[in-house]
């Protein structure tokens, strides 16, 4: 096993990696910006070094400085986490050229999967079904018109260098194509420095289902089943679960085999994810993510396999010590991303100090957090504060457990999207598993203020008073009496319960 690793990240994933490293007996070296001096990943690491001011471009994105620091302090490896430098082939190359281990796939694999048309070519060759459409960029609007006529409308223009929805345009009819081509190309150029675009058939109401894969440096690849990640807003996932509520065991096995083939086609090493769009029983390759993902815990909980441990083991040259047949799914897991965003009025970012943090615990609850009481939430970084993850025997029990855990969660000082999640857990389509990437478009009420009806307020007040009275007379008085009405309000579903 490698002896030490520099963790080139911050927030909840940096802490997750510090924890994983220490459990593997690996010396964990953190880096931090001036804004993160007292961040939990810094406090828990064995060593930590300041790498610059708060803006990411002057700290967490300084690849060269980070590699130089790793050499200086004697780190053997660099783990990039997700975001920042994680999918920059040039960074991975720089790490290897410095004689360090990059915890992730080969730089060539990262580069190939980062180019969306090349990824489609590689997958097509490997016999992986891709969304019908082109595997080369289109040169001009005329070429796009020709291709679109073949594919059939509606089509989707996408950036070749893309990902994340930038430079994407839906085109419903031939007359719109020229303008859309120009807009998509301009947006792609601004976002990726490369204006090339290509075309796919547009799928109107797919699910986002992704398969976790794990490969070693000896040619072994297994899949760890799927995650359903359809509930998202503007390409930001909000709720993820494993397994998907709709896949049959046969579909799971088939998609899994497809994902393994996809990974083998690019000599995949480490933990990776094959994204698919799933619609009406058909699934199509979308993209491959060559990193550990935010939502990896739901896979860990249903498979019992520690993905971060395996990232370190594979990076150390160890072979997988289990095969596909050894992997069994147990129960159901759900993750809610707790972000510092106010879900009412458009997920506006909320900043300030976290003045109180009450973290849910108890059976089947996992909290992967990156903040503490006192942490200052700024606009410098992504708003993900923590992930609340539950595991239970069935999907229904997992939903109940998540609802309970969300009720226990208290975050004061900044707004979070936790109340949004609490509503999702009660929403009928979600409970039925009837979700697609359009879930939030179809449920605008989840983002609106729901002022309680006056009768409901009266009923809740009556309930609170009754319970208080009941406790005074029948129950031993323990704790502070002030706390009692609060819990009754919470049980009545009133504001101020969980914030
Ligand atoms: C699509 C699609 C529909 N049809 N491709 C969005 C980001 C990029 N990674 C791919 N994306 C999509 N590609 C075809 N042919 C719909 C989306 C899409 C989406 C995909 C996954 C998760 C959330 C999404 C939200 C909006 C659009």
Phi, psi of 352 (to 5 degrees): 135, -175
- Contact 235 CB / ligand 1 (< 6 Å): yes
Query: Which of 129, 198, 235 maximizes ligand 1 atoms within 8 Å of its Cβ, making it the mutation to test the pocket?
Result: 235
- Give the rounded distance of the alpha carbon of 373 from its chain centre: 23
Q: What is the pLDDT of residue 345?
A: 80
- What is the whole-number distance in angstroms between the Cα of residue 165 and the centre of ligand 1? 7
The Cα–Cα gap between 68 and 13 comes to 22
Q: Rounded to whole angstroms, how far apart are CA atoms 421 and 407? A: 10
Ligand 1 in reach of 289 Cβ (< 6 A): no
Is the torsion defined by CA of 323, 324, 330, 331 positive or negative? Answer: positive
Among 116, 133, 165, 171, name the best residue to mutate to test ligand 1's pocket (greatest count of ligand atoms within 8 A of Cβ). Answer: 165
Average pLDDT over every residue of 377-384: 98
Residue from 148, 289, 437 to probe ligand 1 pocket by mutation (most atoms less than 8 Å from CB): 437
**Which pLDDT tens digit goes with each residue over 264-283?**
999 999 999 999 999 999 99
Distance of CA 277 from the midpoint of ligand 1 (Å): 8
Is there an atom of ligand 1 within 6 Å of 156 CB?
yes
> Ligand 1, residues 119, 156, 275: which to mutate, most atoms within 8 A of Cβ?
156
Ligand 1 neighbourhood includes 278 CB (under 6 angstroms):
no
Which atom of ligand 1 is least distant from the CA of 201?
Answer: 15
Report the b/e string of 396-431 with b at 16+ CB within 10 A: eebbebbbbbbbebebebbbbbbbbbbbbbebeebe
- The mean of the pLDDT values for the chain is 93
203 C-beta closer than 6 A to ligand 1: yes
- Span from the CA of 209 to the centroid of ligand 1 (angstroms): 11
pLDDT tens string 284-324: 999 999 999 999 999 999 999 999 999 999 999 999 999 99
CA distance 297 to 303: 10
Q: Which of 269, 291, 313, 423 is catalytic?
A: 291
Q: In the predicted model, what is the mean pLDDT of residues 356-370? A: 98
The string over 297-315, giving b where at least 16 C-beta atoms fall within 10 Å of a residue's C-beta and e elsewhere, is bbbbbbbebebbebbbbbb
Measured from the CB, is residue 131 less than 6 Å from ligand 1?
yes
Which residue has a Cα nearest atom 20 of ligand 1?
Answer: 208
Backbone angles phi, psi at 147, to 5 degrees: -65, -40
Atom of ligand 1 nearest to the CA of 286: 10
Structure confidence at residue 491 (pLDDT): 53
Mean pLDDT of 132-139: 95
Reported confidence tier of residue 446, pLDDT bands at 50, 70, 90: very high
Range with the poorest average pLDDT among 82-86, 331-335, 495-499: 495-499
Instruction: Name the pLDDT band for 498 (thresholds 50, 70, 90).
Output: very low
* CA atoms of 80 and 315, how far apart (whole Å): 13
Radius of gyration of the chain (CA): 24
CA dist., res. 52 & res. 50, Å (int): 6
Per-residue pLDDT, 467: 67
Q: Determine the atom of ligand 1 nearest the C-alpha atom of 133.
A: 15
Within 10 angstroms of residue 384's Cβ, the number of other Cβ atoms is: 21
- Residue nearest atom 14 of ligand 1, based on CA coordinates: 202
Q: Is 53 in the pocket of ligand 1 (CB under 6 A)?
A: no
What is the token pair recorded at 197? 């675009």
Contacts of 426 (CB under 8 A, 6+ apart): 403
What pLDDT score was predicted for residue 166? 85
Render pLDDT for 195-251 as a digit per residue (tens, 0 to 9): 999 999 999 999 999 999 999 999 999 999 999 999 999 999 999 999 999 999 999
Residue located nearest, by CA, to atom 3 of ligand 1: 203
Mean of pLDDT values over 434-443: 97
| Cα–Cα distance for residue pair 109/263, rounded to 1 Å | 10
Q: Does the CB atom of residue 285 touch ligand 1 within 6 A?
A: no
| CA–CA dist 478, 267 (Å, integer) | 62
Give per-residue pLDDT as tens, 449-493: 876 666 677 777 877 777 665 555 555 555 554 455 555 555 555
% pLDDT > 70, the chain? 92
Where do we find the tokens 């049959």? 248
Decide if pLDDT at 144 tops 90: yes
Q: Report the 3 state secondary structure along the chain.
A: CCCEEEECCCHHHHHHHHHHHHHCCCEEEEEEEHHHCCCHHHHHCCEEEEEECCCHHHCCCCHHHHHHHHHHHCCCEEECCCCCCCCCHHHHHHHHHCCCEECCCCHHHHHHHHCHHHHHHHHHHCCCCECCECCCCECCHHHHHHHHHHHCCCEEEEECCCCCCCCCEEECCHHHHHHHHHHHHHHHHHHHCCCCEEEEECCCCCEEEEEEEEECCCCCEEEEEEEEEEEEECCEEEEEEECCCCCCHHHHHHHHHHHHHHHHHCCCCEEEEEEEEEECCEEEEEEEECCCCCCHHHHHHHHCCCHHHHHHHHHCCCCCCCCHHHCCCCCEEEEEEEECEECCCCCEECCEECCEEECCCCCCEEEEECCCCCCEECCCCCCEEEEEEEEECCHHHHHHHHHHHHHHCEEECCCCCHHHHHHHHHCHHHHHCCCCCCHHHHCHHHHCCCCCCHHHHHHHHHHHHHHHHHHHHHCCCCCCCCHHHHHHHHHCCCCCCCC
The answer to whether 291 is a known catalytic residue is: yes
d(CA 285, CA 276): 5
Q: How far is the CA of 118 from the centre of ligand 1 (A)?
A: 18
Contacts of 123 (CB under 8 A, 6+ apart): 130, 262, 265, 285
Cα of 180 from ligand 1 centre, angstroms: 17
* pLDDT tens digits for range 166-211: 889 999 999 999 999 999 999 999 999 999 999 999 999 999 999 9
């Amino acid at each position: 096993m490698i002896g030490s690793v520099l963790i080139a990240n911050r927030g909840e994933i940096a802490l997750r990696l510090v924890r994983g490293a220490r459990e593997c007996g690996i010396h964990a070296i953190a880096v931090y910006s001036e804004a993160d001096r007292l961040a939990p990943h810094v406090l828990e690491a064995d060593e930590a070094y300041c790498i610059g001011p708060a803006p990411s471009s002057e700290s967490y994105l300084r690849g060269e400085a980070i590699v130089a620091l790793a050499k200086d302090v004697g780190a053997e490896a660099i783990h990039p986490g997700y975001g920042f430098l994680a999918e920059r082939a040039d960074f991975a190359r720089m790490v290897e050229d410095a004689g360090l281990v990059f915890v992730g796939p080969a730089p060539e694999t990262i580069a190939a999967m980062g180019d969306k048309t090349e990824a489609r070519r590689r997958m097509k060759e490997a016999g992986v079904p891709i969304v019908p459409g082109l595997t080369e960029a289109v040169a001009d609007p005329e070429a796009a018109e020709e291709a679109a006529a073949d594919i059939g409308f509606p089509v989707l223009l996408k950036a070749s260098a893309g990902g994340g929805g930038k430079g994407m345009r839906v085109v419903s009819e031939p007359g719109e194509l020229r303008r859309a081509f120009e807009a998509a190309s301009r947006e792609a150029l601004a976002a990726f420095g490369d204006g090339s675009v290509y075309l796919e058939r547009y799928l109107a109401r797919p699910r986002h289902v992704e398969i976790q894969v794990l490969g070693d440096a000896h040619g072994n690849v297994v899949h760890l089943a799927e995650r359903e990640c359809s509930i998202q807003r503007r390409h930001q996932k909000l709720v993820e679960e494993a397994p998907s509520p709709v896949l049959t065991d046969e579909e799971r096995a088939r998609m899994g085999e497809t994902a393994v083939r996809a990974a083998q086609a690019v000599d995949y090493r480490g933990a990776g994810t094959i994204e698919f769009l799933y619609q009406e029983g058909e699934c199509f390759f979308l993209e491959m993510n060559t990193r550990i993902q935010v939502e990896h815990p739901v896979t860990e909980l249903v498979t019992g396999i520690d993905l971060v441990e395996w990232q370190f083991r594979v990076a150390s040259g160890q072979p997988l010590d289990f095969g596909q047949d050894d992997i069994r799914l147990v129960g159901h897991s759900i993750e809610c991303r707790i972000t510092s965003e106010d879900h009412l009025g458009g997920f506006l970012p909320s900043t300030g100090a976290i003045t109180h943090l009450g973290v849910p615990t108890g059976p089947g609850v996992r909290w992967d957090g990156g903040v503490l009481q006192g942490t200052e939430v700024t606009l410098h970084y992504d708003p993900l504060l923590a992930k609340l993850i539950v595991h239970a025997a069935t999907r229904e029990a997992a939903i109940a457990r998540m609802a309970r855990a969300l009720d226990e969660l208290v975050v004061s000082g900044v707004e979070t999207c936790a109340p949004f999640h609490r509503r999702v857990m009660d929403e009928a389509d979600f409970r039925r598993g009837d979700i697609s990437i359009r879930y939030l478009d179809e449920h605008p009420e989840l983002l609106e203020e729901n002022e309680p009806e006056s009768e409901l307020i009266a009923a809740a007040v009556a309930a609170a008073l009754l319970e208080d009275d009941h406790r005074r007379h029948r129950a031993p008085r323990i704790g502070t009496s002030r706390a009692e009405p609060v819990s009754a309000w919470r049980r009545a579903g009133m504001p101020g319960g969980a914030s």
